[in-house]
Amino acid sequence: MEELIAKARVLVEALPYISEFRGKTVVVKIGGAALEDPALRRRFAEDLILLDWVGIDLVVVHGGGKQITTMLDKVGQKASFVDGQRVTDAATLEVVEMVLGGSLNQELVRLVNHMGGAAVGITGCDGGLARATIRRPELGLVGEVTSVDRTVIDRLLPEYIPVVAPLATGPDGNALNVNADVFAARLAQALGAEKLVLLTDIAGVLDAERRLISSLTDADARALIAQGVISGGMIPKVEQALTALAAGVHKIHIIDGRLEHALLLEIFTREGVGTQVVSTGKP
């Protein structure tokens, strides 16, 4: 009986959050372990379906760096990186499109649909969703998103969950590879999203003693970057969070995708499981 009562308490705790976010748009970026591990992928799909059923408009952006590298190995191409960022030449771009816009995207879509949801897979090139220019010449065909046309997303929501591969149309009409975190942040801005959730392979933003910071403001985040507390691969994630906040996204959540049902726990519980970043002066 105690176990049943505990389950009821969880549902009651979720009610105000369901009420608050019903009809709002949440952009979720999935990558890392949550994308690679079949069990975690399944839990993620379950979270999406539940959030969709309670009336939250979801848009999913997925990465796929490890899957791209694996496919490059299979076809005998060597992956190359500059400052931790993939160099994308024409041959590599073919593999990127095949993985991001093809097998990986459709795998996620099939999983959500098989489990009772309604998802549609697209890339940023579909419907003129995202346009980009070359980001850095030394990275090759890697794009910086310059504009987003939300029309195709608006036509899919709320009936379907758009699952978007981070590709964009370049000036010559060909595809460009875009960092998934950056793509998700730009999409959240264009959609006026209530939340942007980034699933990572760490607990969230950590303080100088390596303890999880459950909430911080944009001013706090900038200070921690300046102090060197936020460092390495977390810096671009937090910088994208700050850019999205400045553009009107209400809250950014950086959470551990290795934790089962991390998405539900972050959105529907008081404590959450990761780090939320908010504008100074907002709760």
**Domain that residue 62 falls in:** 21-278
pLDDT at 18: 76
pTM exceeds 0.95, yes or no: no
CB-CB neighbours of 129 under 10 Å: 25
CATH number of the CATH domain containing 169: 3.40.1160.10
* Predicted pLDDT at 5: 57
Residue 273 located in a structural domain: yes
Q: What is the pLDDT of residue 2?
A: 65
For residue 16, tell me if it sits in a domain. Answer: no
Q: Per 3-state DSSP, what percentage of the chain is helix, strand, and coil (rounded to 5)?
A: 45, 25, 30
Instruction: Note whether residue 49 is domain-resident.
Output: yes
pLDDT at 265: 85
How many domains is the chain built from?
1
B/e letters for 260-275, b = 16+ CB within 10 Å, e = fewer, are: eebbbbbbbeeebbbb
Domain annotation covers residue 283: no
In a domain, 192, yes or no: yes
Q: One digit per residue, pLDDT tens: the chain, 283 residues?
A: 566 556 566 666 777 777 788 899 999 999 888 899 999 999 999 999 999 999 999 999 999 988 999 999 999 888 888 877 888 999 999 999 999 999 999 999 999 999 999 999 999 999 999 999 998 899 999 999 999 999 999 999 999 999 999 999 999 999 999 999 999 999 999 999 999 999 988 888 988 888 999 989 999 999 999 998 988 888 888 888 888 888 888 899 999 989 888 888 888 877 778 899 988 756 5
Domain-embedded: residue 163 = yes
The reported pLDDT for the residue numbered 141 is 94
138 contacts: CB under 8 Å, gap ≥ 6? 82, 87
| Structural domain contains residue 10 | no
pLDDT for res 6: 61
Strand pairing class (215-217; 251-256): unpaired
Would you state the pLDDT for residue 232?
81
The residues facing 256 across adjacent strands are 200
Asked if residue 1 belongs to a domain, the reply is: no
